[in-house]
Structure 1
Amino acid sequence: MTEQAGRLSERAQLVGGNRMELLLFHLRGRQSYGINVFKVKEIMPCPRLTNLPHHSPIVKGVANIRGETISIVDLGLAIGLPAIQESTDNVVIVTEYNRITQGFLVKKVDRIINLNWKEVHPPPAGTGKDNYLTAVTEYQGGMIEIIDVEKVISEVHPVNERISKGVIADTVKLISSSYHVVVVDDSSVARNQVIRCLEEVGVQTTGLENGKQALNYLQSIVESGKDIRDEVLMLISDIEMPEMDGYTLTTEIRSHPDLNKLDILLHTSLSGIFNEAMVKKVGADDFLAKYEADELARKVVSRIESLQTFEEVE
């Protein structure tokens, strides 16, 4: 087995068991924050930065890392805290989210911990919709806050949410409103991006925050005596979510006798060969890296067209 294959196997066992590794870091004071290790490409001392005019105020500058010019975001400033004070001890966490390589300036990196997603919970009620948290967890008597990095990135690199002309066929527009898509994502920004895209396609939507919510919702449909295929066109789910991740959600659906025919698209900021392998392992129908409105719309349109073709054959 090659070294890369070995790493993929280890990661498959970890996430397949509803587990994740969290890199802990500090922005100021004793509060610990976390980021999924799978999204971290490199950790390094803060390199020399070049200032750019007319850039977002949370961007400290750009740096050349491994031949690539990367924006370095002051993560403290980005989530509403005071700017991180300049120091030779500051660290940059180089990540890949939504097909974008991004550097985050932090005060210091602590350690990596291994958690079950069941131990990770949505932010407490009353946190407010403008917060930058997707989840929290307890570790060694302290509270770890997991930052909604997709929200931060959307403010630095806004995405085009409009669907190009011609992606949605006129025949689909006529019937799309009769279909219902369930969207699952713990990031409110990412979830709303998907919902706005689907609304442009014309389908009805239900947005949920994690796999546990989604499974309960789907089970409630079949427990009421309805056929899931008549009620839900497809499930579009993130992978990293508190309570239950997208891989475990997919596994639970495939093992349920009344849900196992549901079409599942895993839609995630984690990209690469690893996720394509996991799609096959857990039994999802498809995988799409975030976020490109036309690609997502085409997946939904294709699903509608496939059903129309099936009905015509019948």
Structure 2
Amino acid sequence: MSGILDTVNQRTQLVGQNRLELLTFRLMRKQRYGINVFKVKEVLQCPKLTLMPNLHPLVKGVAHIRGKTLSVIDMSLATGGLPIQDPENRFIIISEFNRSTQAFLVGSVERIVNMHWESILPPPGGTGKSTYLTAVTEIEGELVEILDVEKILNEISPVNEEVSEEILAQKAVFEEGGTAPNVVLVADDSSVARRQVKRAVETIGYEVLLAHDGRDALIKLQEMAKEGCIYDKLALVISDIEMPEMDGYTLTTEIKKDASLKNLHVVLHSSLSGVFNEAMVKRVGADAFIPKFDPDELSAAVINAVKGQEK
């Protein structure tokens, strides 16, 4: 296990182009799961947990780790399975999502696998809205499920999704006499993230075109460009980074090298805030990066991007 822990610490600093490294793990079932190493800060044997009053039912307890108190979420229970027994003999994956740090209790941790995003596929049809799957892949003939951690976290501690009156007032002042298009394309594989972004963007008066991953977004953009000048139809693109088939970095690269799309304003919007490499954003040509999820920050970025096009 020490080899895995050392490798996690080294590789969380890597940024790849349309590739990722999955840390695979199991819960209480035989099913194998994966989490992007970019989101992993550390893997530890589960320390002693402290029970506190009024904890969420999915929180096994709290742990004191490196001067911080972290909630330890039972990943099996959170995804509809049986609670994980004997936590002292299990492991926690400490991860950074959406500007906060959490610990996920898992049954066992296996190894890191280098993958291409083309090998990460959307969940099969028929999984339903209640699924916690955001993607699937195959490793050594075995199905590996990638969980929608944002959905799990939102159920435990919902984020504020309301745009402030101050931002709405900025939009009201700006929109007088505006001529820029009123549509924003949003690409994200998480159903929770799509809903959050859609609500924020619609609140400030823009229409939203949704894409489920980078490839879906690129196809939609290319089809729009074939029908006429895309800059007359689309205000900007907001894209997640981690997505099946094509990640946000590659989507941005493809947009910027396409003569009919290259001047589109692209905002990368990701929960990878803790290990994010700003040099990568500049290299692929994205116009901005915003860590998830602050409705005011996102809405202000949309307003400012459209302002720039009005000049």
TM-score by length of 2: 0.92
Segments of 5+ residues of structure 1 without an aligned counterpart are: 1-6
Q: Residue by residue, what CA displacement relative to the aligned partner does 1:47-99 show, whole Å, maximum 9, x if unpaired?
A: 11111222210001111111011100000000111111124321000000001
The number of equivalent residue pairs is 299
Q: Which among 218, 226, 229 is matched to residue 227 of structure 1?
A: 229
Distance 1:227 1:171 in 2: 27
Amino acid paired to 1:81: G
Contact 2:185 2:209 (C-alpha < 8 Å) held by counterparts: yes
Q: 2:287 matched to which residue of 1? A: 285
CA distance in 1, matches of 2:246, 2:217: 9
Show the 5 A alignment for 1:1-314: 11-12=14-15, 15-16=16-17, 18-168=18-168, 169=170, 170-172=172-174, 179-224=182-227, 226-272=228-274, 274-308=276-310, 310=311
The answer to whether the 8 A contact 1:95-1:101 is kept is yes
> What is the distance in 1 between the residues matched to 2:206 and 2:299?
11
* Other structure's SS at 1:298 match: helix
> 1:136–1:298: structure 2 CA closer, same or farther, 3 Å change rule?
same
Deviation at 1:304, TM superposition (A): 2.3
Cα-to-partner distance string for 1:268-290 (whole Å, 9 max, x where unaligned): 00015743111101000000000
Q: 1:197 is matched by which residue type in structure 2?
A: A
Which amino acid is 1:165 matched to? E
**Equivalent AA in structure 1 for residue 186 of structure 2:** V
Letter in 2 for 1:279: V
- What secondary structure, in the 3-state scheme, does the structure 1 residue paired with 2:167 have? coil
Q: Are the counterparts in 2 of residues 182 and 207 from structure 1 also a CA contact under 8 Å?
A: yes
Could you report, residue by residue, the CA deviation over 1:130-163 in whole angstroms, capped at 9, with x for unpaired residues?
Answer: 0000000011011000000011111122111001
Are the aligned partners of 1:177 and 1:202 in contact in 2 as well (CA < 8 Å)? no
Deviations 1:182-230 (A, max 9, x none): 0000000011100000011110001111000000000001112x11111
Partner AA of 1:220 in structure 2: E
Distance in structure 2 (CA, Å) of the matches to 1:107 and 1:8: 22
- Report the secondary structure of 1:206's partner residue: strand
Write the letter of the residue equivalent to 1:64. Answer: H
User: Relative to structure 1, is the Cα distance of residues 173 and 257 closer, same or farther in structure 2, using a 3 angstrom cutoff?
Assistant: closer
Letter in 2 for 1:292: D
Say if 1:177 and 1:204, in contact at 8 Å, map to a contact too: no
Q: For the Cα contact (< 8 Å) 1:43–1:92, is it kept in 2? A: yes
Residue aligning to 1:3: none
Question: Structure 2 unaligned runs (5+)?
Answer: 1-9
For the residues of structure 2 that align with 1:121 and 1:114, how far apart are their CA atoms? 15
Q: Which residue of 1 aligns with 2:6?
A: none
* Identity of matched residues, %: 48
Moved more, 298-307 or 272-281: 272-281
Per the TM alignment, residue 8 of structure 1 is displaced from its structure 2 partner at its CA by 8.7
In 2: Cα distance, 1:8 partner to 1:78 partner: 27
RMSD of aligned alpha carbons:
1.8
Cα pair distance change 1:178/1:23, threshold 3 Å: same
SS at match of 1:88: helix
Once residues 40 and 12 of structure 2 are traced to their aligned partners in structure 1, the CA distance between those partners, rounded to angstroms, is 18
Q: Structure 1 residues 284 and 222, CA, compared in 2 at 3 Å: closer, same or farther?
A: same
